[in-house]
Amino acid sequence: MNERTAATHSSRTGAWLAHHGFSLAASLGRMLRTPWASLLTVGVMALALALPLGLWLVLHNVAQLDRQVQASHEVMVYLKPGIDDAQVQALQQRLQQRSDIASLARISPEQSLAEMRRREDLAAAIDILGTDAARAALPTVLRVVPRQGDAHPLAAGLQALPETDRVQYDARWRERLQAWLAFALRAVQVMGALMGLGALLVVGNTVRLDIQARREEISVLQLLGASDGFVRRPFLYLGACYGLAAGALALAILTLAQLALRLPLAELASRYGSHFALQGIDLWPALGVLAAAGLLGWLGAGLVTSQQLRQNRPRRA
């Protein structure tokens, strides 16, 4: 009895797996038999997926650039006039012992004056004012590079030093950038949800048309006693295949866009002394996109198929 039950269970499992394989092969066959219609459906879904993914990728790269900028930002400390070299050196020694300072450099009035003379618009003004007077008007500056973390406490502490006249630390634009990034990320999430709904509707409409074309075949299967799961399975695989193909096409579109923009962007960044390079989608996020696209197609096909089967169920006499 146990052997017969095990054999029956094994037979049912084999038939169930065989039908899954047949459903997958049949779904791929239907897509290949209608290449233009399938390509149109996949293309519309791919564009719906590529747009929010592309915006997310842009935000990801901007966030990487923001982290690079924050890792190399500087605090400029302008010392009060009249401080001699001994006081400046003593201040440098104290600051170099602080754990929140990565490096420190001194910019003398002579170095500032030489830097200003390289600019044509300032060189003429220096000649009119006189070199000695211009040098006397320029303060000694300390260029401080903080360690990783928030530099606001460091800037406030440097401003409180008795030797400090003014501290320049432009953090407001970084805060604004982070606020814009947070808003843009939320906008991308909303757009992604809307585009995902649109892709789901595209798959659902395509599967609905396929069900309508096979209405008689489905009616015969239902009259013979086929379960809804048996009838619905090929259409679920069809939707999943549409989703996977659309996800792969969306990734290909983003890769081509990245390759087209990488060199011009690298050249632009090099003119500003930066080594920023456009980053693409890594392996695991790409696999996540494929899985999400396949699941989206599966869900769209499942919703439409369940509704169509209920409406078209034949009534027994």
Closest alpha carbon to 61 in 151, 173, 185:
185
**Number of Cα atoms under 13 Å in the Cβ half of residue 96:** 11
pLDDT (tens digit, 9 = 90+) per residue, 237-277? 999 999 999 999 999 999 999 888 888 877 877 776 567 77
pLDDT higher than threshold 80 for residue 198 = yes
Tell me the pLDDT band of 71, cut-offs 50, 70 and 90. very low
Domains of the chain: 18-69+175-312 (no CATH), 74-170 (3.30.70.3040)
Which strands, in side-by-side order, build the sheet including 75-79? 101-107, 141-146, 75-79, 164-168
pLDDT higher than threshold 90 for residue 76 = no
Q: What does the pLDDT read at residue 12? A: 67
Mean pLDDT of 293-307: 90
Percent of the chain clearing pLDDT 90 (strictly above): 19
Q: What does the pLDDT read at residue 153? A: 81
Alpha helices (H) along 72-117: 85-96, 109-117
pLDDT higher than threshold 50 for residue 151 = yes
CA dihedral 98, 101, 102, 107 (to 10 degrees): -110
pLDDT higher than threshold 50 for residue 317 = no
User: 199, 49 in Cβ contact below 8 A?
Assistant: yes
pLDDT (tens digit, 9 = 90+) per residue, 113-122? 888 777 776 7
